[in-house]
Amino acid sequence: MTNNNNDIRVGIGYDVHKLTENRKLILGGVEIKYEKGLDGHSDADVLIHAVMDALLGAAALGDIGKHFPDSDKEYKGADSIDLLKHVGELLKNHGYAVINIDSVIAAQEPKLAPFIELMRSNISSALNIDTDRVSVKATTTERLGFEGRCEGISAQAVCSIKKAQ
């Protein structure tokens, strides 16, 4: 079966990292002042990681672990926005264009509403798409689960892509 130019695909991504002391909190490429940050091999930006996995999955190109393994020292402390730019180029090289991205961050603290528009702008800029194609939302878990206990932060993303014309 061959693909045609109307080929539309959907992908989903999920990421979670533990909150820990002595780390910066970076979400959507925005450094947020908070007493803890996310622990991980790169900057641990769960939002960008979820977005990248959604995009890679939609194009059937694997996941971020395949492309940016935590066993590779090159990615130690990496800026996830730079990794997202790489994913955008990978999609382009495989003939795909991003239609839209919808995402949600689950965190009890800190309040993220003041940073949402900058997160949207960072994602759209990294992928060279209009900001109105990127949705970022934040929610609490009403003090339930690891997010509600402020032990970690998670993010989910869904995207649609199409074969570029």
**pLDDT category of residue 3 using cuts at 50, 70 and 90:** low
98 inside domain:
yes
Per the structure, the count of domains in the chain is 1
Does 69 show up as a binding residue in the annotation?
yes
Domain range for 43 is 27-163
Does 64 show up as a binding residue in the annotation?
yes
Query: Which one, of 163, 98, 158, lies nearest residue 133 by Cα?
Result: 98
12 inside domain:
no
If you count them, how many residues does the chain have?
165
89 inside domain:
yes
Query: Which one, of 43, 23, 27, lies nearest residue 35 by Cα?
Result: 23
- Distance, in Å, from the CA atom of 55 to the CA atom of 70, rounded to the nearest integer, reads 19
Does 49 show up as a binding residue in the annotation?
yes
Q: What is the pTM of this model?
A: 0.94
Does 15 show up as a binding residue in the annotation?
yes
10 inside domain:
no
Domain of 32: which CATH number?
3.30.1330.50
Mean pLDDT of the chain: 94
Tens of pLDDT, residues 40-96: 989 999 999 999 999 999 999 999 989 887 777 777 778 999 999 999 999 999 999
Q: What is the mean pLDDT of residues 118-139?
A: 98
- Distance, in Å, from the CA atom of 67 to the CA atom of 52, rounded to the nearest integer, reads 10
- Distance, in Å, from the CA atom of 160 to the CA atom of 142, rounded to the nearest integer, reads 30
Query: Which one, of 46, 64, 55, lies nearest residue 159 by Cα?
Result: 55
Does 42 show up as a binding residue in the annotation?
yes
- Is residue 17 within 8 Å of 44, Cβ to Cβ? yes
5 inside domain:
no
What's the token pair of residue 36?
């803890």
Residue labelled with tokens 């990248």: 52
Does 79 show up as a binding residue in the annotation?
no
- Is residue 57 within 8 Å of 40, Cβ to Cβ? no
Tens of pLDDT, residues 26-38: 999 999 999 999 9
7 inside domain:
no
22 inside domain:
no
Residue labelled with tokens 């997202």: 84
